[in-house]
Amino acid sequence: MNVVLSKKELERYKRQIIIPAISKNGQKKLKKSKIFIAGFGGLGSISSQYLVAAGIGSIKIIDKDVVDISNLNRQIIHWTDDLGKEKTVSGLYKLKKLNPHCNIEAITTELNETNAFDLIGDAHIIVDATDNIKTRKILNKISIARSIPFIYGGVDSFNGMVTTFIPPDTACFDCIFPKDVKKTETVGVIGPAPGVIASIQAMEAIKIILGIEGTLKGRLLYFSGMDMEFKELIIEKNPECPTCGKKI
């Protein structure tokens, strides 16, 4: 598919088009790409804005919740006037105002085994912005089945972690989180923690689309906001993994 960048788009993206690793050609790649974001909370608030602002052609976001007052400390796409609105409605409105060149769809629903394939459709990248293991395991399965990069992110208090799973080359989510962890209690989160992690997720998505090396493929990056440190862990495929390992 051939895409054309209008004069307005060339002006809008001028500061990134002048980066040699992007150029007009890369900007066209961004415009041709489709990204699926699961969740419009702390992580989705940030990654969606950077991806829309960067000129991703199509973005689909899902979330089942309405805006609650306790969301506002970190889910900064939602404002006080949005209390009680569906997050998809509140978030979609802002994203469309941010960049009218981007084709954005926001659907109020809960991802499950039945609807996940259809919802993710022909997306090129899955961005995890959920807050639960169950949904991540569904996203992981589809990432493997369709060979779609899956950018995982998670936060807790001042900290967070992020990595990119690229099937079939890397470990998958189930290789490193094999157990079904039941969500037992609400975790505390200070807003900049999802801000850091979701910004990295958006950067990963952009680099994958542009074909730039040096992503978090095979590395789990851990961010401690408390100690202000980044640490990384090399992650490897688990041959016994029930999801991506060799079936006996």
- 89/241 with CB nearer Zn ion: 241
In Å, how far are 61, 85, 125, 159, 197 from 139, measured between CA atoms?
13, 26, 11, 23, 18
With tokens 């004069």, the residue in question is: 7
CB of 165 to Zn ion, least distance (A): 8
- 52/175 with CB nearer Zn ion: 175
Judge whether 191 and 77 are in contact, CB under 8 Å.
no
Alpha carbon 210 to chain centroid distance? 16
CB of 35 to Zn ion, least distance (A): 23
The DSSP-derived string for 164-231 is EE-TTTS--HHHH--S-PPP-SPPPB-THHHHHHHHHHHHHHHHHHHT-S--SBTEEEEEETTTTEEE
CB of 241 to Zn ion, least distance (A): 3
- 62/244 with CB nearer Zn ion: 244
Q: Which two tokens stand for residue 71?
A: 């969301």
- 49/143 with CB nearer Zn ion: 143
- 190/241 with CB nearer Zn ion: 241
Residues that bind Zn ion (CB under 5 A): 172, 174-175, 241, 243-244
CB of 32 to Zn ion, least distance (A): 29
Determine the Cα–Cα distance for residues 146 and 177; give it in Å rounded to an integer: 20
The CB-nearest residue to Zn ion is 241
CB of 16 to Zn ion, least distance (A): 34
- 30/175 with CB nearer Zn ion: 175
CB of 216 to Zn ion, least distance (A): 16
Helix (H) or strand (E) holding 35: strand 34-38
